[in-house]
Amino acid sequence: MAWELMTEKWSGEVSTVTIGATKEEGGTRSHTLKIGGEKSLPCLFQEGNIPHEPKVAFEIWDIAPLDWPAELMLPYAETLRDPLEWANKCVRDYKAQGLCIRLQGAHPDFGDKSPEEEAKLIRKLLKEVSVPLIILGCGDDAKDNLLLPACSEAAKGERCLIGCAVQDNYKTIATSLLADGHNIIAESPIDINIAKQLNILISDMGLPLERIVMNPTIGALGYGLEYAYSIMERSRLAALSGDKTVASPFICFVAQESWRAKEAKNENSPEQGVIWEALTATALIQAGADLLIMRHPKAIQKVNQYIANLFGGK
């Protein structure tokens, strides 16, 4: 007897966000990263089209990180001191498709670099490498309001992804990204309502919903991953049911969380950190993550392999 697979019919879809602009599009990137566009839950290829597989971008910093575990510093070694060399290593040696630069050095407690200095770095970085760029502020609201507009201006036309905008601090960032043609990261604290509200607030400023990427805030494996998972699942279900205000793709800061886990820092078992980062990433891919920000080349390799296995055979 013939049988038919029960499928869910969804009325909505996740919006597609393009990061990076090629020459034809007015930028200087060698390629673009397209994320989102899903018409079904992750990997349910029969239920709806999943046009773009999840992407991984390498996280680099503008200053040498001091508290990274030795295992994580090892692959980058001396290049950690120079963001341009570090970027080059990621692209040249580890074949990074995208880079995510965190401007940690601008934080008042970590060097307090000026917005002009950081904008200069962004310009140099865009010349040095040709992959699409994600730019992160330092996390201090007041400083980010000066820093991010300066970087946005410096990267004008390159269609970067810049953030993070939060509920109490989104106006200045959204205004400048709107003017310079970038995409925005909207961060909410594992809260579907705030995620939605922030998307509405940003789009009320004139930045279209199609240029927003949501950072749902995650926890690492063993550190609240399941909370992030269920929030991501809930918002994705709402998006697929037709709620445009939560239909943005997800960006997940995987490395930042997973390398903080004490299991990841176990010096007797250096491989464990890599595994922790890869496992956190793969779980989030199943929750619907579209863009993963990771650090260790080996973990990234494993995750890319996993993505190829899952999405390659579709």
Q: Which residues bind other proteins (CB under 8 A)?
A: 167-168, 171, 191, 193, 196-197, 200-201, 203-204, 243, 245
Q: Identify which of residues 109 and 168 has a Cβ nearer to other proteins in the complex.
A: 168
Query: What's the closest the beta carbon of residue 194 comes to other proteins, in angstroms?
Result: 9
168 closest CA partner among 189, 148, 147, 149: 189
Spatial distance between the Cα atoms of 90 and 75, rounded to a whole number of angstroms: 10
The partner residues of 291 in beta bridges, in order of sequence, read 55, 251
Query: What's the closest the beta carbon of residue 191 comes to other proteins, in angstroms?
Result: 8
Query: What's the closest the beta carbon of residue 175 comes to other proteins, in angstroms?
Result: 11
Q: What is the 3-state secondary structure (H, E, C) of 124-165?
A: HHHHHCCCCEEEECCCCHHHHHHHHHHHHHHCCCCCCEEEEE
Q: Identify which of residues 197 and 272 has a Cβ nearer to other proteins in the complex.
A: 197
Q: Identify which of residues 154 and 238 has a Cβ nearer to other proteins in the complex.
A: 238
Spatial distance between the Cα atoms of 72 and 296, rounded to a whole number of angstroms: 6
Query: What's the closest the beta carbon of residue 180 comes to other proteins, in angstroms?
Result: 20
Q: Identify which of residues 26 and 208 has a Cβ nearer to other proteins in the complex.
A: 208
Q: Identify which of residues 128 and 243 has a Cβ nearer to other proteins in the complex.
A: 243
Q: In 3-state terms, the chain is what percent helix, strand and coil (to 5)?
A: 45, 15, 40
Q: Identify which of residues 166 and 283 has a Cβ nearer to other proteins in the complex.
A: 166
For the chain, what's the residue count?
314
**Residue 157 contacts by C-beta under 8 Å, 6 or more apart in sequence?**
21, 26, 27, 180, 181
Spatial distance between the Cα atoms of 232 and 226, rounded to a whole number of angstroms: 10
Query: What's the closest the beta carbon of residue 201 comes to other proteins, in angstroms?
Result: 5
Strand segments (E) across the chain: 16-19, 33-36, 55-61, 99-102, 133-136, 161-165, 183-187, 212-215, 251-253, 291-294
Query: What's the closest the beta carbon of residue 41 comes to other proteins, in angstroms?
Result: 21
Q: Identify which of residues 176 and 282 has a Cβ nearer to other proteins in the complex.
A: 176
203 closest CA partner among 248, 154, 168, 164: 248
Query: What's the closest the beta carbon of residue 196 comes to other proteins, in angstroms?
Result: 5
Query: What's the closest the beta carbon of residue 211 comes to other proteins, in angstroms?
Result: 15
Q: Identify which of residues 26 and 206 has a Cβ nearer to other proteins in the complex.
A: 206
CB 57 within 8 A of CB 41: no
CB 250 within 8 A of CB 214: yes
CB 25 within 8 A of CB 159: yes
